[in-house]
Structure 1
């Protein structure tokens, strides 16, 4: 009955006097019961421990598992895992690597390239310790590339690419290689740059395309430029092509004379936006058209085919100019002088007189300089009494382009070059156009156009207008002065040509060239019917001897020809001409005989060879003709001819010697052989008689003697024949 705990608890509760505190009784009973249970459990656990204390093999395993001699720790698998664990701990997390790219921490340089020696690797590593900023790295790379250290800088940039974005440094290397004409190496660096996650920017493509343009003469430059340019338009390209890249690839096409590729690129240029055409685009296209017409000409063309091909090119240029004017009128583009001159130079190579005349209309349209000569085909030009255009080299179907000259009275061209008027009603509308400013290029172009349309008076007026300091103030350069001399030659203005040389060349310190005096002297030859043309030519010859270090043989030839063909020549004129020619003769003789190279700024005659030598000999022959004319005529008295005869004989002998020296190259080889034989000959009488007699008999003894050095020459009387002659 009392075996149940509940029953026992109820009996005790009924007998307990403290039944009024049930919670206390419950606590005491529970404590007694739980104490007994814990005692019984403790006794059982101790008994189990005493049983497990018996010696078994499990104790050794546990001991090995806690010791350093554990078999797993010595196994290859454990060692491999430990190695991988350490490598994983040493590796930087991804966020730390991205942080290093921003902060420039170059401690992570990647593995050493096998192509780089350990010595160079350590050098680059030490350099990168002080180049933790991309700007500092780019500055250092550019400075070292100036010392031609492209290999070292390429190693440095490769190492830096592991930890930072150094696109500018890559750009410097590509630019340096292209400047050194190493196109293949530059393209290899460009491809390697992309493989190293250094994505090219807009400047990279600009440098690459412009570098290919300056190396357009290299094989495959055009195809590589087109490949790079078209890759920018790919869907996955990070950089979109701008007009700068388009202009660069157009320049490559123009220099390669590939008009099909040029028009293919130009056709994709949008009408608006950042990739729209600018003045440089149109200038490149117009210059390419002109270059293709002049250089890329098929062989075996006749005059009609040349004129027709140029006509097609001029029509293309006129269509391009219509687009230029449309953009200029809409204020989408500013017309510059380079663009105007590109169109003008294209018109000047045309076959029609209308093309030449449109140059002046072009200048009026774009520079607001009014025409100083009426247009071809207008009544004003016919009433002005201007000379008729000759145009001998123009085919018949292109020659008569004027309305008052052509038989069929065809329609006039040049409407695209008419002056633009403000769009609006009334005179209150302002002109929004910005005109180009003329300079030396415009001045030469206008002078050439006036020469072609035979407008000499207008050429002078344009010259005075553009060079006037109060208007445009253009300071003429040597090309402008040469063009002005050509216009004066067309007008037979020998006096103005001589004055121009004295005032604009000598007076302003501009150093003339030999061609300058040739143009001026040809003006005097063309003006030979003028009484004073020979005097003007003498002034030009005198200026040539004052300014040029050596006399120009072609100028001297033209002066001598003018002296011979001068219809009003007197004896005094021929004597004065020979007097002016004396310093010229001396200088030409020095150039033909003992001339050398001019060194250290010293003045001395330069030895002439080739075609220049033949021109000098021709000049001396022409001067001999003046002596002949003076001696064989009755222009001077007989007693006065003696000095001229002697001078002519000396000059003729010199010409004969020069001709013999130039024509008989075998004699030169024989002279060298004789010199070598004389060096090998014995000093005393053995073998001297035969050689001496034979050489003197043939007239070559003095030549062989002069061919020897001075210290080895023998007296001329050493041979028996010479002593007998004495």
Structure 2
């Protein structure tokens, strides 16, 4: 009995003024008290501590309130509605007391369901299980909804291993019960609980309880199983296994997924199962976790289940498919009828024999094309899904698309996509990917022009430009030299002047944005910054300032290259460059000295060499190299 803290308090009498844990004399006489607490009680010990005990006066007040409510609440439906409203206000004690009082004269199973659901939503698994047991002791028989709430709460629990044991125990007892048998919804919830915990053995043991009547597997059942197989290698990687063993287990899970998919296809052909996008993408993402051969099967999978055309097997010279120009392998005799049929199928919510592609499918396609290096097909599938099926790309779709274009080094398409993206989706990562693509696309003569288009979008939509993105932009200007290398044999001086003009145009484009970046440190975006101490402000801005100073050094190195190699014919521009170079050089020296002084003040400076000052010339020489 001393395992329960409430029982121990009642045994000891009134609650002492000092904490219960301080009473070592009682604990020492009952050594089993500290060791007999189960894992579930340990995980949720805060449940009893967070809820303060009511005083005698509060208990009397609560009893009076509940008594008054029950004088007017006779219908179980009215009682459950009042309990729900009370729980919405957070008054759990009142709702629980009212439900217990009402259980003497009526069947209020729904009210108990509300109490259990409230505890599950607040991550109090142990308290919910106590309510479930108390409910049965008060002759309130649980219904199907009760078990659905318990199983779904276990699936969402923050303690997955403990939730698996509770869910499997209840599910097993239901299988032997004559009053109420588990259905497909219950089975799926228990499978989801096992999948979240990574317990595949228990999950497949639950799968064996499926039958063709009450617990017939549906599309959600197979989706849960496939997602569990995809995530299982991640659990093993975190457990410290070697990479070879993880890859072996990953391939084993892919083979198991393929065998499961064969069963899905057989049931689908017999009209015993409905295939939706979620199920198809679950299988597709299992394949993307494998090798190149597995990734190549994704297009076959989408062609089989969604009738998506295979652009890798069609003539690339044909025009791209759109709503007004459908592909040849899906073109009906009348184009207008094709439009109407496509719109009807898409707007009907996928009521058809094949699944309807959506955002999940679009991301899956981009991941597969990136892994198989078929990046030239990315824009064709993108235009097809957004044109024919009217898929509105979300943030993840754009990120996967940009990643695919980055691997394919398609700087022109990258610039177009970034200019068309919604403003809310633009961030520093977007522009870094764009400039990296321009750097990799060094064989394209228009790569720097594409980088300039991307830089203009960044300057327009970002409040403060990203320092790393600016450095990548400058690197694209210095690295895109193919057209000048071809011109070097015929006109060496002209090619040198053209390259110098390109570098200086990049620095000139960066100059206003760099000033805005430096002003962000002097005039922060939030007023709270001004109230902080200099040390706190230094700690917060140190990383960003270092990035900005690195960008300034790269700009100085680029201008030094132009000046020392005499890469410009206009002396007026050369004088402006020298002036700007000196301004940036003094800025870097001043910030370096301030940084050193602040670190010495905070006791974080490294042992000084010589006078303890940084030679900015040596730093700039390293940047030039």
Whether TM-score is above 0.5 comes out as: yes
1:513 alignment partner in structure 2? 427
1:82 alignment partner in structure 2? none
User: How many angstroms does 1:501 deviate by?
Assistant: 1.7
1:245 alignment partner in structure 2? 186
User: In 1, distance between residues paired with 2:234 and 2:405?
Assistant: 27
2:623 alignment partner in structure 1? none
Q: Deviations over 1:632-661 (max 9, x none)?
A: 221125554333333233323333444455
User: How many angstroms does 1:443 deviate by?
Assistant: 1.5
Unaligned residue ranges in structure 1 (runs of 5+): 1-112, 375-379, 386-431, 600-604, 672-697, 700-726
The aligned runs of 1:191-270 (5 Å cut-off) are: 191-217=133-159, 220-235=162-177, 238-270=179-211
- Checking the alignment, whether the CA contact within 8 Å between 1:592 and 1:616 is kept in structure 2 is no
- Is residue 2:359 matched to residue 1:440? yes
- Checking the alignment, whether the CA contact within 8 Å between 1:178 and 1:211 is kept in structure 2 is yes
- Checking the alignment, whether the CA contact within 8 Å between 1:216 and 1:252 is kept in structure 2 is no
- Is residue 2:407 matched to residue 1:483? no
The aligned runs of 1:100-179 (5 Å cut-off) are: 117-179=59-121
2:436 alignment partner in structure 1? 522
Compared CA separation, residues 160 and 669, structure 1 to 2 (3 A): same
The aligned runs of 1:24-39 (5 Å cut-off) are: none
- Is residue 2:562 matched to residue 1:630? yes
Aligned to 2:561, the other structure's residue is in SS state helix
1:557 alignment partner in structure 2? 471
The aligned runs of 1:84-103 (5 Å cut-off) are: none
**4+ runs of 1 displaced by more than 6 Å?**
113-116
2:298 alignment partner in structure 1? 359
The aligned runs of 1:496-507 (5 Å cut-off) are: 496-502=413-419, 504-505=420-421
The aligned runs of 1:352-431 (5 Å cut-off) are: 353-374=292-313
- Is residue 2:265 matched to residue 1:325? yes
Q: CA RMSD in A?
A: 3.2
1:472 alignment partner in structure 2? 389
Compared CA separation, residues 300 and 174, structure 1 to 2 (3 A): closer
Compared CA separation, residues 558 and 318, structure 1 to 2 (3 A): same
Match for residue 224 of structure 2 among 274, 284, 290: 284
Match for residue 531 of structure 1 among 434, 440, 445: 445
User: How many angstroms does 1:340 deviate by?
Assistant: 0.2
Compared CA separation, residues 277 and 135, structure 1 to 2 (3 A): same
| Number of residue equivalences | 497
- Checking the alignment, whether the CA contact within 8 Å between 2:435 and 2:476 is kept in structure 1 is no
Aligned to 1:220, the other structure's residue is in SS state helix
Aligned to 1:373, the other structure's residue is in SS state helix
Q: Which moved more, 1:512-521 or 1:114-123?
A: 114-123
Which protein shows a greater Rg?
Answer: 1
Compared CA separation, residues 302 and 177, structure 1 to 2 (3 A): closer
Match for residue 574 of structure 1 among 487, 491, 503: 503
Q: Deviations over 1:577-601 (max 9, x none)?
A: 11211232123323455534389xx
- Checking the alignment, whether the CA contact within 8 Å between 1:505 and 1:512 is kept in structure 2 is yes
User: In 1, distance between residues paired with 2:185 and 2:555?
Assistant: 59
Give the structure with the larger helix fraction.
Answer: 2
Q: Which moved more, 1:335-344 or 1:445-454?
A: 445-454
- Checking the alignment, whether the CA contact within 8 Å between 2:236 and 2:246 is kept in structure 1 is no
Higher relative contact order (Cα pairs below 8 Å, separated by 6+ residues)? 2
Aligned to 2:237, the other structure's residue is in SS state coil
State TM-score, norm by structure 2.
0.73
User: How many angstroms does 1:181 deviate by?
Assistant: 1.4
User: How many angstroms does 1:311 deviate by?
Assistant: 1.1
Aligned to 2:140, the other structure's residue is in SS state coil
- Is residue 2:583 matched to residue 1:650? yes
User: How many angstroms does 1:126 deviate by?
Assistant: 0.3
User: In 1, distance between residues paired with 2:283 and 2:376?
Assistant: 24
- Checking the alignment, whether the CA contact within 8 Å between 2:287 and 2:298 is kept in structure 1 is yes
Aligned to 1:273, the other structure's residue is in SS state coil
